[in-house]
């Protein structure tokens, strides 16, 4: 007779599958992407695909978008939709120019730009958190306000300065650059040989380790730091609880108003940092309309990343890479991306058609499972059709029209967003009005 304390036989019970650590999954995905680009470079002969210059340009173009996306992440994880990222970036571009020019110190410009972004965030928090203004309305108002304020301040402080004016600042000081010693020369020689994989790795490492602005390193470090703060600390748990269920957080003693204000202020500071990067690293002076919609693109990258730091970094890298190819004049490489997108669409179609990939969910509700299955068939069919058209386009042409090359980053972002939309899950209370005590 078996007692409750005796061990039960476990030989017939299936053991749960071991789950890979998130870092391992990310490494596998990045290695697969890089391997695909190496193969594409070898097949097409377009060396710009994995060149160190392309990697460096990708960082320079992606950092401002990534900082805007990271700012949006902080705000929306606290339940505040931040459409005003573009305006906060504009504040950052002007603040960075003012602080660095009149002090002669780039780091003072960084502090001023971040502070201006924080002010923009606090204005948004005041309208949405305290006064209950619709989040979209407040963000749009901020985007309208920021260019006017920047023009007014430029007229006050930059007009009359050498090289300055109502729409631009004088030339600004630079941040110091950093390179790993002894890397540039040897890796440059390896890259110049265009050997399969070896030269590609040399180009990647060289682009990531040479002539990096100090602000680039700071911005890259903020991505894992954000993950640690939001998902590995009690402070982050309080922030995220305000975005999921603020009334439950309130019942547990969380100061919801304070957490929302802090999150939106951090959001504005990060967007302001992205603006400083545009004015002082991406360029050598502040210029009107310098952001060029990057705040909105950052918002799209955040959504693509499913409101998580790693995902938004991937979305930012995708946009920055395609933009780098077209800005470096690598039209052949952009044309080769048609083949990449076609193969990706075929792979997506196969993934949608794999039976039983949803596990036990299909056994719970047969009717819901049937709807999902039919929707998966429709999406797979659409992916196959579009992939076939892109493959035909690639095989029938040698280059893309200039107009399409220019808008390749935007088109790629829209395509990936449409494919990823099925797996997105925003914070449950994102954009909802909160009032203390109403949930009881």
State the 10-residue block means of pLDDT for the chain, 440 residues long.
43 52 74 87 87 91 95 96 96 97 96 97 96 95 96 95 93 93 90 92 93 95 96 96 95 95 97 96 92 90 89 87 79 80 84 61 52 78 88 86 75 69 81 82
Q: Are 61 and 322 in contact (CB under 8 A)?
A: no
Q: Could you report how far apart the first and last alpha carbons of the chain are, in Å?
A: 53
What token pair was written down for 1? 């007779």
Q: Do you know the residue count of the chain?
A: 440
Q: Are 379 and 352 in contact (CB under 8 A)?
A: yes
What token pair was written down for 296? 């909105």
Beta bridge partners of 168: 287
What token pair was written down for 358? 């949803």
Q: Check residue 427 and give its pLDDT.
A: 93
Which residue from 83, 146, 88 is spatially nearest to 303, judged by alpha carbons? 83
Q: Check residue 352 and give its pLDDT.
A: 78
What token pair was written down for 269? 């500071």
Q: Check residue 18 and give its pLDDT.
A: 53
Q: Check residue 107 and give its pLDDT.
A: 97
> How far is Cα 391 from Cα 396, in angstroms, rounded to an integer?
9
Q: Treating both helix axes as pointing N-terminal to C-terminal, what angle do 214-232 and 256-280 enclose, rounded to 10 degrees?
A: 160
- Would you tell me how many other CB atoms lie within 10 Å of the CB of residue 133? 16
Q: Are 41 and 50 in contact (CB under 8 A)?
A: yes
> How far is Cα 169 from Cα 286, in angstroms, rounded to an integer?
5
Strands (DSSP E) along 190-235, which ranges?
212-213
Q: Are 417 and 303 in contact (CB under 8 A)?
A: yes
> How far is Cα 108 from Cα 112, in angstroms, rounded to an integer?
6
Q: Check residue 420 and give its pLDDT.
A: 63
In whole angstroms, how large is the CA radius of gyration of the chain? 24
CB-facing half-sphere around the CA of 435: CA atoms within 13 A: 5
Which residues, other chains included, contact 307 with Cβ-Cβ below 8 Å and sequence gap of 6+?
73, 76, 77, 425, 426, 427
> How far is Cα 384 from Cα 260, in angstroms, rounded to an integer?
44
Q: Check residue 142 and give its pLDDT.
A: 97
Which residues, other chains included, contact 363 with Cβ-Cβ below 8 Å and sequence gap of 6+?
369
Q: Check residue 358 and give its pLDDT.
A: 45
Question: Is the pTM value of this prediction over 0.85?
Answer: yes
> How far is Cα 300 from Cα 36, in angstroms, rounded to an integer?
25
Q: Check residue 360 and give its pLDDT.
A: 40
């Amino acid at each position: 007779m078996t007692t409750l304390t005796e061990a039960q036989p476990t030989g017939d019970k299936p053991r749960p599958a071991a789950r890979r650590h998130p870092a391992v999954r990310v490494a596998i995905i990045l290695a697969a992407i890089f391997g695909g680009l190496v193969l594409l470079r070898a097949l097409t002969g377009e060396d710009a695909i994995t060149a160190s210059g392309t990697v460096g340009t990708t960082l320079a173009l992606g950092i401002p978008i990534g900082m805007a996306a990271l700012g949006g992440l902080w705000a929306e994880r606290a339940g505040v939709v931040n459409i005003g990222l573009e305006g906060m970036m504009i504040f950052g571009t002007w603040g960075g120019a003012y602080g660095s020019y009149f002090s002669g110190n780039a780091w003072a410009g960084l502090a001023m730009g971040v502070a201006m972004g924080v002010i923009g965030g606090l204005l948004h928090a005041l309208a949405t958190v305290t006064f209950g203004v619709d989040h979209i309305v407040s963000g749009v108002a901020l985007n309208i306000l920021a260019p006017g304020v920047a023009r007014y301040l430029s007229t006050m402080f930059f007009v009359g300065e050498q090289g300055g004016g109502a729409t631009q600042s004088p030339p600004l000081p630079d941040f110091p650059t950093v390179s790993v010693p002894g890397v540039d020369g040897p890796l440059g020689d390896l890259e110049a040989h265009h050997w399969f994989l070896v030269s590609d790795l040399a180009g990647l490492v060289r682009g990531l380790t040479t002539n990096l602005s100090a602000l680039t390193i700071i911005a890259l470090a903020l991505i894992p730091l954000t993950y640690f703060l939001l998902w590995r600390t009690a402070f982050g748990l309080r922030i995220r609880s305000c975005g999921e269920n603020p009334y439950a957080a309130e019942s547990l003693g969380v100061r919801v108003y304070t957490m929302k204000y802090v999150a939106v202020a951090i959001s504005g500071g990060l967007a302001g940092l992205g603006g400083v990067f545009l004015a002082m690293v991406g360029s050598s002076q502040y210029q009107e309309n310098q952001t060029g919609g990057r705040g909105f693109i950052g918002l799209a990258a955040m959504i693509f990343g499913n409101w998580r730091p790693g995902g938004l970094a991937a979305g930012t890298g995708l946009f920055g890479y395609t933009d780098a190819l077209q800005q470096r004049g690598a039209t052949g490489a952009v044309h080769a991306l048609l083949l990449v997108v076609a193969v990706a669409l075929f792979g997506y179609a196969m993934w949608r058609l794999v039976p039983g990939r949803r596990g036990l969910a299909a056994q719970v509700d047969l009717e819901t499972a049937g709807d999902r299955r039919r929707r998966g068939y429709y999406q797979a069919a659409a992916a196959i059709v579009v992939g076939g058209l892109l493959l035909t386009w690639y095989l029938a042409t040698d280059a893309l029209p200039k107009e399409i090359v220019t808008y390749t980053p935007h088109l790629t972002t829209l395509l990936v967003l449409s494919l990823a939309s099925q797996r997105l899950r925003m914070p449950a209370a994102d954009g909802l009005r909160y009032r203390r005590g109403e949930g009881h």
